[in-house]
Amino acid sequence: MTPHPGRTSCFLGRLAKGMAFGILAALGACETESGRVLARAAGHELTVDQVVEMLARENTMPNQAGVVGALANLWVDYTLIAVSAREDPLFTTLDLDALLRPQFDQEIINAYLSSVLQPDTAISDQDLRVMWEADPPADSVRAQHILLFFPDQATQAQVDSVAELAAQLKSRAAAGESFEALAGQYSEDSGSAVQGGDIGFFSLGAMVPPFEEAAFSLAVGEVSDPVLSSLGLHVIKVTDRKAPTFEGARESYRDSIVFERLWKTDSIFLAGVDEEAEIEVAAEAVEVMRELANNPRAPLSGRAVRRTLVSYRGGSYSVSDALVLLNTRQADLPAQLAVAPDEVVHELLNRLGQTQVLLVRAAGAGIGLAEEHLDSLDFVTRQGLILATDELGIRGIPVAAGETADDAIARRILQILREVTAGTLNAIPMGGISLTLRREFDWDVLESAIGATVERVDDLRGFTPVAPLQPAAAPPVGAPPTGAPAAGTPPVLDSVQN
């Protein structure tokens, strides 16, 4: 293999592949990138050398920019949390308003809609059977899937890398390769991956809309193109279908009819809100929103942040509001927006305008949340963070002889990353908590150093194309609980609306 440009000084390091002492010697010999910083957080630094040693020594993770970026962002999150915990072990001063506010707002809106909308949801068994016979529901299907997550704070290159892997997996499965084996190796849905991706039978209304739409359009044995949902990218294979009976599906069918009536009532009402409040998405708003999603931390001028994206009678939704959304909601929202169709981004912006109008109406109707409820959600979120940090050992890190408190934090976070790369520890993504802390502390992940890290590890391992993965295996800590997405909601809106 011809050495990659810029790798010559490290090329001989490949001779040490599989030999720990050889790898360490090669690390010392590759002076071109020696000491180069990969990430910074609250005065701490993660170097290229440190991550190269982890990946080269273990050789258990794919050497991809997405993996390196995910490790760097994981290091940032854990470092910021450890620094915060050192100053405030119970996280009593951590500002959770940006994290919890969307949930509070949605509960207020739901209460307001319940007060003004009264759809008929009482359906007798006789009427239900008449509806069933007039329009029998679709078959239930049994499916397998492979789920790929987007890395936290994903760059466009990382989004493209995940999308490319999903397309490759679809092609391999469609060509006859074992779907069970592919799901077991690649799927990041840990619950179904051990079952070969099998998620059993489900009927309409049970899954997020884009997943459901794709699954019910497939014939038995057919494999879907990659499907984007609020969870990530799915590759789906339908393995069986069966027709439901009225007796067996009575209650789930009743629920679907009730849900359909609620959804129709809400849709008609919200269309009226659009007209009455004169909600209008600016012509260039979709393009601007996508640019913000591609780099949500980019510094902007005062004039730029005041730019209107959505206008409505009595107010507007600006770039400044969008930046709060992109930097405090679920970490993969920017990555979703980067690949979502224009109409989905447009619909999101329209919903954001509706939200502002409905909150004003709710306040005018005297609808709010009880202080006890707000305090309860705040307490539960902080306790969840305490449990997660204790599980990781990054709260109350003991200081060894000769160490400073900063030394102890650096040592512990590096040890966690080593265990994650070795496969002996599951990382715990921090979700909205990490995004909140990133607003309070200085931090950075250097994109150029990610590429340098990949090149160095290639030199030490010997280059072999592998599929991108990210070191994440648990739900985010502190993410507000969400309900089922409304039928027909576009993928990005699944998680934003709720």
**Between 283 and 468, the higher pLDDT residue:** 283
Quick one: average pLDDT of 309-328? 90
pLDDT for the residue numbered 343: 93
pLDDT for the residue numbered 330: 65
Quick one: average pLDDT of 154-161? 82
Backbone angles phi, psi at 107, to 5 degrees: -65, -40
Q: Is 233 helix (H, G, I), strand (E, B) or coil?
A: strand
Residue 58 has pLDDT above 60, yes or no: yes
Please give the C-alpha separations between residue 337 and each of 291, 308, 485, 490, in angstroms, as whole numbers.
10, 19, 17, 11
pLDDT for the residue numbered 440: 85
Residue 476 has pLDDT above 90, yes or no: no
pLDDT, tens digit, 9 for 90 and up, residues 90-133: 999 998 887 788 889 999 999 999 999 988 888 999 999 999 99
Q: In which band, very low, low, confident or very high, does the pLDDT at 28 lie, cut at 50, 70 and 90?
A: very low
Residue 20 has pLDDT above 50, yes or no: no
| DSSP 8-state assignment for residue 39 | E
Quick one: average pLDDT of 40-51? 95
d(CA 491, CA 336): 8
d(CA 498, CA 213): 20
Residue 183 has pLDDT above 60, yes or no: yes
Residue 24 has pLDDT above 70, yes or no: no
Quick one: average pLDDT of 426-453? 84
Angle, CA of 453, 151 and 353, to the nearest 5°:
140
pLDDT for the residue numbered 337: 86
pLDDT, tens digit, 9 for 90 and up, residues 216-266: 999 999 999 999 988 889 999 999 999 888 888 888 888 888 888 888 999
| Under 8 Å between Cβ of 137 and 253 | yes
Written as one string, the DSSP assignment of 393-426 is: T-SSPPPPTT--HHHHHHHHHHHHHHHHHHTSS-
**Could you tell me which of 217, 228, 237, 239 has the C-alpha nearest to residue 171?**
237
326 Cβ contact partners less than 8 Å away, ≥ 6 residues apart: 292, 293, 296, 333, 334, 337
Residue 67 has pLDDT above 60, yes or no: yes
Quick one: average pLDDT of 350-366? 96
Residue 157 has pLDDT above 50, yes or no: yes
d(CA 473, CA 194): 13
pLDDT for the residue numbered 241: 92
Residue 366 has pLDDT above 50, yes or no: yes
Residue position matching structure tokens 């040592």 = 411
Residue ranges of domains in the chain, CATH in brackets: 8-89+395-461 (no CATH), 97-120+260-370+479-497 (no CATH), 138-243 (3.10.50.40)
Residue position matching structure tokens 């002996």 = 424
Helix extents (H) in 196-341: 209-216, 246-277, 285-294, 302-305, 319-328, 333-339
Residue 308 has pLDDT above 90, yes or no: yes
Q: In which band, very low, low, confident or very high, does the pLDDT at 137 lie, cut at 50, 70 and 90?
A: confident
d(CA 120, CA 258): 8
pLDDT for the residue numbered 434: 78
Which of 36-40, 135-139, 473-477 shows the highest mean pLDDT?
36-40
**Could you tell me which of 447, 476, 99 has the C-alpha nearest to residue 295?**
447
pLDDT for the residue numbered 153: 65
**Between 201 and 230, the higher pLDDT residue:** 201
10 Cβ contact partners less than 8 Å away, ≥ 6 residues apart: 26, 29, 30, 32, 455, 456, 459, 460
Quick one: average pLDDT of 286-310? 87
Residue 6 has pLDDT above 80, yes or no: no
d(CA 42, CA 45): 9
| Under 8 Å between Cβ of 96 and 382 | yes
Q: In which band, very low, low, confident or very high, does the pLDDT at 339 lie, cut at 50, 70 and 90?
A: confident
Written as one string, the DSSP assignment of 274-304 is: HHHHT-EE-TTHHHHHHHHHH-TT----HHH
| Under 8 Å between Cβ of 61 and 421 | yes
d(CA 350, CA 223): 34
pLDDT for the residue numbered 17: 32
pLDDT, tens digit, 9 for 90 and up, residues 369-389: 999 999 999 999 899 899 999
Q: Can you say whether residue 200 is alpha, beta or left, with left for phi > 0 and alpha for psi between -120 and 50 degrees?
A: left
pLDDT for the residue numbered 129: 92
| Under 8 Å between Cβ of 250 and 127 | no
d(CA 228, CA 211): 8
pLDDT for the residue numbered 495: 37
| DSSP 8-state assignment for residue 345 | H
Straight-line distance from the first to the last Cα atom of the chain, in angstroms, rounded to the nearest whole number: 51
Strand arrangement of the beta sheet that strand 198-202 belongs to: 198-202, 140-148, 232-242, 227-229
Share of the chain above pLDDT 90, in %: 50
Quick one: average pLDDT of 286-307? 85
317 Cβ contact partners less than 8 Å away, ≥ 6 residues apart: 308, 309, 310, 311, 349, 352, 353, 356
